[in-house]
Structure 1
Amino acid sequence: MTAFFGLDASATAAGAEVAGAGPARAAGAKVAGAGPKAAGAATGTGHCRRIDRLRVPGAERQVVACLGELTTAGTVASGHTDQADWAGLTPAGLATPSGVPGIQIDGYFPDASTTNTNHGWHHDAQFVVRLPDRWNGGLVVAGSPGVREQYANDRAIGDWVLSRGYAFAATDKGNTGAGFYRDGAAPGEAIAEWNDRVTELTRAARAVVAQRYHRPPSRTLATGMSNGGYLVRWQLENHPELYDGGVDWEGTLWRASGPNLLTFLPSVLRHYPVYAAGGPGADEAHRAMLAAGYPAGSEFLWPFHHQYYWDLTQRIYREELDPAYDGPTEAGTPYCAPGTPACDADYDYASRPPRVHRAVASIGLTGRIGKPLITLHGTLDVLLPITRDSDVYARMVRDAGRGGLFRYYRVDGGTHVDSLYDAFPDRLRPLTPCHRSAFRALETWIGRGSEPPPSHTLARPAEAGPGALLADCPIGGTKTRS
């Protein structure tokens, strides 16, 4: 297991979520009381009456609980979330809503892989479904960011949508952890399973919602960050019939012709150490970093990302999509110097055999969305540089003739994980409030037919007091081309 999984508390708070390699915890560690309890399940009375009749279609196992609080204000203490799943993804000052009683269902679908050890189940394809007593008629479905587990969205997304009355469902995507690439029989299959598991959960969650409330959801929305954002894009391209719309929070771009992770990460692995060392070659290395897509002004974020993100991300995704590159070695050699045999710093995606490009194509995006989609991306994202990711995806959507279904908001000063805002509040803007504004805009778009503002950059306020940026992120500003 890599050192990434042994981050100390300060590093975890800074936000270890590779596009990714979370969860950020020691191997096998669990928070106290993390196993689900069937609290109130046997009684079937009060606000949880008929709880015993709920069945998740297709689930191999489920545990149903009647809870006085579905948000993390209560589930941390009751053992119905895992804090390690969402560590490092949100700012410390993010408010936690409360007052959401209801039913939680934990379980898993049939699967042969065993990377997810939540609840001692040692079984992948785990899910959580939360059904609030006061339901607004909607369902929100999310896949986990990075290679985290099913509770990873609880703080950033789940708490807020539950407080607004939505039912909420999330999946671990079918495999987890830095060794996720061991799942699947062929390159790309572990990632392809992520898409299948979101589709599977969406169908099952819609059925459970209908059981609980005696009618199907009036709207089903997909949302997620990083790899979770990729899943939103893929679902709206491939299964638009299941959704009414989605919000993509800096989704990972997979595209056979590039750009993708494997086209820009090797460059930073080659050049960042030279830049960081200073002396001869540092200026040239800096220019190479900028040319790879890492924007001027983001240099203060590079040391952290070099230590925790870039190297591991490149190696585990390259192993998933091109395992032959390093022969029998699994996921290469950490932090190898250029010239080392099979070093990922020397990886050249363009020159790799056609089978590698076919593997990427098997999980690739097209831009052919079939339902309204709002994409958010921070201009200072140095894990998924905006010019190599969402800027490109926006062009893909427009070129596919789907621009009328799409809005793209570039968040000035946003980076990949919001916990870094705590370390640099004078330089960064958290994306969580912007995600909420985008979500509200999507609600209005599909609910009233009122289109959101044109795609543009959300400027960071010139003067913002402590905590002000956590309060709101109005979708306004100067229009730019998407």
Structure 2
Amino acid sequence: MRFSFHPGPRSWRRGGPAALALAVLTLTPGPATGAPVSAGSGLCARISQARVPGAEHQRATCLDELTTAGTVASGHTDPADWAGLTPRDLAVPSGVPGVQIDGYFPDTSTTNTNHGWNHDAQFVIRLPDRWNGGLVVAGTPGNREQYANDRAIADWVLSRGYAYAATDKGNTGPAFYRDGKKPGDAIAEWNSRLTQLTRAARATVARHYHRPPSRTLVTGMSNGGYLVRWQLENHPGLYDGGVDWEGTLWRSDGPTLLNFLPEALRSYPGYADGGEDADAARRALHTAGFPAGSEFLWPYHHKVYWDLTQRLYREELDPGFDGPTEAGTPFCAPGTPACDADYDYAARPGEVRRAVEKIELTGRIGKPLITVHGTLDVLLPISQDSDVYARMVRKSGRGPLHRYYRIEGGTHTDALVDTHPDRLRPLTPCHRTAFAALENWLSRPGHRPPASRTVPLPSEADPATLLEDCPLTAHADAASPPRP
């Protein structure tokens, strides 16, 4: 999520694209087969065949490095897009040459300024020379653009041989809610854009490697995790499985962030003041879902996340709450007219629930899903999100398709681990362990991942070890290589 925001009159601005020339490196041609090939054989000989079905504009580039070890310098990623999502010392893999395709699908909104295109529905597809036969697709967290997962997800799956594709979800930035004609349309577009990208990326992979992907996996964090859930509920035929990293929960009868964030905005100032009402304010925050023991994270989230998130998503789903004002009044005191600290989802008109119904989840997944979520998440508290979603999956009769790992000491963004290394553990290695467990689940009939559980934080946790290791069980063999 970007944090610079200047409210103005509500509008539905549209614009056109501008082109950006990308340098093309000449690599040695290799054999035109679909089997894995060596990095030196150069699949860039096929770059003329790199076509993304349905794209309005695209540029294919041969790169000697598809991970951020090379794309930062070559300009084929945007570090600002993934800032704050991963621990500072997370290793960066390298040695992954191949083809990168940047482009966009037809769209009318213009929030994404990457490449100077000023055009939404941008995507990136990366096709490594050494291909394992699989494809990983992802939507982005927050309201970030298509490169947001490059450090957390793309680097690692590319190093394992997967082709990779990501979308900006069709609208970006803190004014994403201006997109669409009706409340809920902007978020609903996220789902259709990931479906669109998945179909296009599968066809692009088949054309590039001369055979279709043997496995298609979907993954993402936060809003990207929500997309994983929605895709496996609504388009399971496109995927073999997915990994949901702390996905956002939307359901018309709650809970959603519109239920618990207003309580945080109401109660936190009283807690922070430390007066006679501080204990009552703390209890109110605990009751709303913010766990005991997470208090050290509250000041940062109050300053950076809670207020902005509530106002932006409330504007998307309930713009009538504050009338002509756009996205409310920052950090308003309770009692202020149209203040989001006083927002009461249950008391809002039925049209608000109908907006949420456009994007709600049901739990009726159709393919294997693994969820990981930190117990110290204070943006999407686990008791109000993934705990609820796991119950929804079981209630729908899809429990055998789901594994759920509650990661003790994990919080919403891994960069906070650098600030509190003695209290938090990163979720990035837990996502990778879960991803490898999904690979084994799909590759080895009868081999199921460890049972759903709370993964404890080791009593003498070494930060360096936690950055590399997150066993889902003491004897898990989930780290074996992929077998698409």
TM > 0.5: yes
Aligned CA distance change for structure 1 residues 56 and 43 (closer, same or farther; 3 Å): farther
> Aligned partner of 1:217: which letter?
P
Is contact 2:252-2:360 (8 Å) kept?
A: yes
The yes-or-no answer on 1:451 pairing with 2:448 is: yes
Is contact 1:240-1:371 (8 Å) kept?
A: yes
In the alignment, the residues of structure 2 paired with residue 74 and residue 124 of structure 1 have an alpha-carbon distance, to the nearest angstrom, of: 25
Offset at residue 43 of structure 1 (A): 9.1
> Aligned partner of 1:310: which letter?
W
Is contact 2:27-2:62 (8 Å) kept?
A: no
1:248 alignment partner, SS class: strand
Indicate the percent of aligned positions where both proteins have the same amino acid.
74
In the alignment, the residues of structure 1 paired with residue 423 and residue 74 of structure 2 have an alpha-carbon distance, to the nearest angstrom, of: 37
* Equivalent position of 2:22 in the other structure: 37
* Equivalent position of 2:4 in the other structure: 5
In the alignment, the residues of structure 2 paired with residue 338 and residue 206 of structure 1 have an alpha-carbon distance, to the nearest angstrom, of: 50
In the alignment, the residues of structure 1 paired with residue 72 and residue 117 of structure 2 have an alpha-carbon distance, to the nearest angstrom, of: 19
Q: 1:230 aligns with which of 226, 232, 243?
A: 226
* Equivalent position of 2:473 in the other structure: 476
Is contact 1:135-1:167 (8 Å) kept?
A: yes
In the alignment, the residues of structure 1 paired with residue 28 and residue 354 of structure 2 have an alpha-carbon distance, to the nearest angstrom, of: 53
In the alignment, the residues of structure 1 paired with residue 372 and residue 121 of structure 2 have an alpha-carbon distance, to the nearest angstrom, of: 27
* Equivalent position of 1:337 in the other structure: 333
Offset at residue 282 of structure 1 (A): 0.9
Offset at residue 464 of structure 1 (A): 2.3
In the alignment, the residues of structure 1 paired with residue 207 and residue 96 of structure 2 have an alpha-carbon distance, to the nearest angstrom, of: 19
Offset at residue 37 of structure 1 (A): 1.8
* Equivalent position of 2:13 in the other structure: none
* Equivalent position of 2:350 in the other structure: 354
Structure 2: 5+ residue stretches without partners: 6-18, 31-40, 476-484
* Equivalent position of 2:418 in the other structure: 422
- 1:307-358 CA-to-partner distances (Å, cap 9, x unmatched) read 0000000000000000000000000000000000000000000010000001
Offset at residue 468 of structure 1 (A): 1.1
* Equivalent position of 1:16 in the other structure: none
In the alignment, the residues of structure 2 paired with residue 123 and residue 476 of structure 1 have an alpha-carbon distance, to the nearest angstrom, of: 45
* Equivalent position of 1:141 in the other structure: 137
In the alignment, the residues of structure 2 paired with residue 387 and residue 41 of structure 1 have an alpha-carbon distance, to the nearest angstrom, of: 53
1:90 alignment partner, SS class: coil
Aligned ranges for residues 113-124 of structure 1 at < 5 Å?
A: 113-124=109-120
1:50 alignment partner, SS class: helix
Q: 1:252 aligns with which of 248, 260, 266?
A: 248
In the alignment, the residues of structure 1 paired with residue 97 and residue 470 of structure 2 have an alpha-carbon distance, to the nearest angstrom, of: 28
> Aligned partner of 2:283: which letter?
R
> Aligned partner of 1:39: which letter?
V
Offset at residue 463 of structure 1 (A): 1.0
Is contact 1:41-1:51 (8 Å) kept?
A: no
In the alignment, the residues of structure 2 paired with residue 373 and residue 57 of structure 1 have an alpha-carbon distance, to the nearest angstrom, of: 28
- 1:407-436 CA-to-partner distances (Å, cap 9, x unmatched) read 000000000000000011110010000000
In the alignment, the residues of structure 2 paired with residue 73 and residue 35 of structure 1 have an alpha-carbon distance, to the nearest angstrom, of: 22
Is contact 2:425-2:463 (8 Å) kept?
A: no
Offset at residue 471 of structure 1 (A): 1.0
1:184 alignment partner, SS class: coil
The yes-or-no answer on 1:294 pairing with 2:290 is: yes
In the alignment, the residues of structure 2 paired with residue 202 and residue 155 of structure 1 have an alpha-carbon distance, to the nearest angstrom, of: 20
* Equivalent position of 2:403 in the other structure: 407
Is contact 2:322-2:328 (8 Å) kept?
A: yes
| Structure 1 runs of 4+ with >4 Å offset | 41-46
In the alignment, the residues of structure 2 paired with residue 81 and residue 44 of structure 1 have an alpha-carbon distance, to the nearest angstrom, of: 25
Deviates more, 1:227-236 or 1:36-45: 36-45
Aligned ranges for residues 76-475 of structure 1 at < 5 Å?
A: 76-449=72-445, 450-475=447-472
Offset at residue 465 of structure 1 (A): 2.4
Aligned CA distance change for structure 1 residues 185 and 43 (closer, same or farther; 3 Å): farther
1:49 alignment partner, SS class: helix
Offset at residue 75 of structure 1 (A): 0.3
Aligned CA distance change for structure 1 residues 369 and 445 (closer, same or farther; 3 Å): same
Offset at residue 40 of structure 1 (A): 2.8
In the alignment, the residues of structure 2 paired with residue 356 and residue 402 of structure 1 have an alpha-carbon distance, to the nearest angstrom, of: 29
TM normalised by structure 1 equals 0.91
Count of residues paired in the alignment: 451
In the alignment, the residues of structure 1 paired with residue 171 and residue 352 of structure 2 have an alpha-carbon distance, to the nearest angstrom, of: 21
> Aligned partner of 2:135: which letter?
L
- 1:208-260 CA-to-partner distances (Å, cap 9, x unmatched) read 00011100000000000000000000000000000000000000000100000
- 1:382-406 CA-to-partner distances (Å, cap 9, x unmatched) read 0000000000000000000000000
